[in-house]
């Protein structure tokens, strides 16, 4: 399915609405440090912007496409790992919502599989752009579910979001250093 201008406008409006909702949640919290939601939402916004930028590139801009694809894949691998190692286990324990967490883990597996396929390809190969677009759609849907379902559910638990946020940020920094080396 080709991405149309109207679809892009709809997606942009949805993200703005999501950002507004996230800002409202943040206003309701006292923040001495970045909490888990802040860390994860920052990652979400960053990768959404990269997908949007990729969508707007011309076929001839192969160098920029390759650069963005590399950034997207690295960011998603690190993000998935910190969620699976730190965030999801604590969210599962705090909420008792196995279904929502199980679904997120399965979505991660699909995303990681697509990343592997993309990393084996070169810009310009058949289906390369399509795989990036589909990856973007999967990731954006996953983000929406996390921010609109999981995060609100966790707000009413005793999960220490500040401590988890600190742990996520530290692990992310370690993984980025290792994976970029």
For residue 87 the two structure tokens come to 């965030």
**What predicted TM-score, i.e. pTM, was given to this entire model?**
0.81
Residues 6+ apart with CB under 8 A from 72: 47, 50, 51, 54, 132, 135
Identify the pLDDT of residue 35. 96
CB atoms < 10 A from the CB of 21, how many? 14
The pLDDT of residue 112: 98
Using CA atoms, how far apart are residues 91 and 105, in angstroms rounded to an integer?
A: 12
pLDDT at 1: 43
pLDDT value of position 10: 56
Fold of 33-180: 1.20.120
What is the reported pLDDT for 157? 95
Q: At what angle do helices 36-56 and 62-82 cross, to 10 degrees?
A: 160
Q: Identify the pLDDT of residue 159.
A: 96
Residue 88 region by backbone torsions, left for phi larger than 0, else alpha for psi between -120 and 50, else beta: alpha
Instruction: Supply the pLDDT for residue 180.
Output: 85
* Model pLDDT for residues 137-149, shown as the tens digit of each residue: 999 999 999 999 9
- What the block records as the tokens of 49 is 């912007």
* Per-residue pLDDT at 56: 95
* Domain segments of the chain as ranges: 33-180
Candidates 84, 80, 86, 92; CA nearest to 153 is: 92
Tell whether the torsion through CA atoms of 48, 29, 152 and 37 is positive or negative.
positive
Q: Which residues of the chain have pLDDT under 50?
A: 1-3, 5, 19-20, 22-32
User: How far, in Å, CA of 137 to CA of 154, rounded?
Assistant: 25
pLDDT one-digit tens code per residue, 110-120: 999 999 999 99
pLDDT of residue 97: 87
Tell me the C-alpha distance between 88 and 82, whole Å: 9
Q: What Å distances lie between residue 178 and 74, 80, 173, 175, CA to CA?
A: 11, 15, 9, 5
């Amino acid at each position: 399915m080709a991405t149309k201008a109207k679809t892009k406008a709809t997606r942009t409006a949805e993200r703005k609405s999501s950002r507004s909702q996230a800002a409202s949640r943040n206003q309701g919290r006292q923040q001495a440090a970045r909490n888990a939601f802040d860390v994860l939402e920052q990652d979400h916004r960053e990768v959404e912007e990269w997908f949007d930028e990729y969508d707007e590139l011309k076929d001839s801009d192969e160098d920029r496409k390759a650069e963005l694809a590399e950034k997207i894949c690295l960011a998603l691998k690190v993000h998935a790992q910190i969620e699976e190692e730190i965030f999801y286990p604590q969210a599962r324990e705090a909420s008792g919502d196995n279904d929502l967490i199980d679904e997120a883990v399965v979505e991660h597996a699909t995303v990681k599989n697509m990343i592997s396929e993309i990393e084996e390809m070169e810009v310009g190969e058949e289906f390369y752009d399509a795989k990036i677009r589909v990856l973007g759609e999967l990731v954006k849907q996953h983000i929406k579910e996390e921010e609109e379902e999981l995060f609100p559910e966790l707000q009413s638990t005793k999960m220490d979001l500040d401590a988890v946020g600190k742990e996520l940020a530290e692990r992310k920094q370690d993984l980025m250093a290792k994976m970029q080396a």
